[in-house]
Amino acid sequence: MSIKKVLTIAGSDTSGGAGIQADLKTFQERGVYGMSAITVIVAMEPKTLAHEVFLVELSVIKEQIDTVIKGIGIDALKTGMLPTVEIIEYVGSVLKDLKNPIVIDPVMVCKVTSGSTENLFPENVTAMKKYLLPYATVVTPNLFEAAQLAGIEKINTIEEAKEAAKKIYDLGAKNVVIKGRKFFAGDKSVDILYNGKNFEFFESEKIDTEWNHGAGCTFSASVTAEIAKGATVSQSVATTKKLIAEALKQSFKLNDYTGPLNHKAFALK
Ligand code: PXL
């Protein structure tokens, strides 16, 4: 049988909800064949919950990427947590030569590992802008990441998000999806797509769950899978928006501090 092949270049989230684990689960549920290149391993100290981030050596990252891209071939690719400027620059050099659709999830904050919304790697923002965004078919920042990429302090409204999307588009990304999620006023969860000409708005009901770990990774993985199967960017975001809402409805608690959205919900529709 023929099946579309996708690669994620991202970090391993030991707790299983985000990172490579979210990506592979999502790829499976969306009917594409997932492969991975692991950039970093994230663990948590069980009692204090302090995050522990173990970098994978650049040479090992290169071997993994070569295994997949040179050895097998892909239909689409996504990136997730890229922990150092050196790794971002290397991944950028790989993207530069690719003809396939590229989804960049500009991961900057990891709530479960930092316990806050501080930027874990501020120097990486400049590197992402320079080395990754010019090759992005789609970039999928949340509001915090969008503000960082656009160089503005904070995004509070849809109007401000539109301004940020224009700035991020100017950095080279062909499509910018800003995940407003539940954070704008009003009773809908709203994500915004800008393709350099038009804005499109994708709405779902606001689902208020504490157990939303991995939502960002899962979102970008789903968009990657849909694009690999031949959907347009707009169709891919529309499908993903629906599926994320369902996955949030079916989210669950793992322990007192983390719970993922339910990737299984992605198989439903
Ligand atoms: O959700 C962002 C994220 C991305 N990648 C890895 C993570 C996390 C958050 O936990 O662990 C590996």
pLDDT the model gives residue 109 = 66
Separation between Cα atoms, residue 26 and residue 3, nearest integer Å: 15
The CA 104 to ligand 1 mean position distance, Å, reads 14
Separation between Cα atoms, residue 226 and residue 265, nearest integer Å: 16
The pairing of strands 102-104 and 33-44 is unpaired
Half-sphere exposure of 36 (CA within 13 A, CB side): 21
pLDDT the model gives residue 114 = 44
Provide block-wise average pLDDT over 10 residues at a time, the chain (269 residues).
Answer: 96 95 97 97 80 92 98 98 95 97 90 50 91 98 95 95 98 97 91 98 94 96 98 98 95 90 79
User: Ligand 1, residues 61, 87, 112: which to mutate, most atoms within 8 A of Cβ?
Assistant: 112
Closest atom of ligand 1 relative to the 112 alpha carbon:
10
Please give all residues whose beta carbon lies within 6 A of any atom in ligand 1, as ranges: 10-13, 18-19, 42, 80-81, 107, 110, 112-113, 214, 216-217
pLDDT the model gives residue 47 = 73
Is residue 130 packed enough to be buried (19+ CB in 10 Å), middle (13-18) or exposed (0-12)? middle
The CA 77 to ligand 1 mean position distance, Å, reads 17
**Which residue is it, tokens 């198989």?**
267
Separation between Cα atoms, residue 227 and residue 237, nearest integer Å: 9
Positive/negative CA dihedral, 209, 210, 214, 215: positive
Output the residue whose Cα is nearest ligand 1's atom 6. 19
The CA 130 to ligand 1 mean position distance, Å, reads 22
Q: What angle do CA 219, 126, 141 make, to 5 degrees?
A: 15
Output the residue whose Cα is nearest ligand 1's atom 4. 19
The CA 222 to ligand 1 mean position distance, Å, reads 16
The CA 10 to ligand 1 mean position distance, Å, reads 9
The CA 40 to ligand 1 mean position distance, Å, reads 10
pLDDT the model gives residue 50 = 74
Separation between Cα atoms, residue 226 and residue 205, nearest integer Å: 22
Separation between Cα atoms, residue 214 and residue 63, nearest integer Å: 26
pLDDT the model gives residue 268 = 57
User: Ligand 1, residues 36, 55, 110, 212: which to mutate, most atoms within 8 A of Cβ?
Assistant: 110
Name the DSSP letter for residue 269.
-
The CA 42 to ligand 1 mean position distance, Å, reads 8
Is residue 166 packed enough to be buried (19+ CB in 10 Å), middle (13-18) or exposed (0-12)? middle
Closest atom of ligand 1 relative to the 81 alpha carbon:
5
Q: What is the DSSP string of 107-147?
A: ----HHHHSS---S-THHHHHIIIIIGGG-SEE--BHHHHH
Closest atom of ligand 1 relative to the 213 alpha carbon:
1
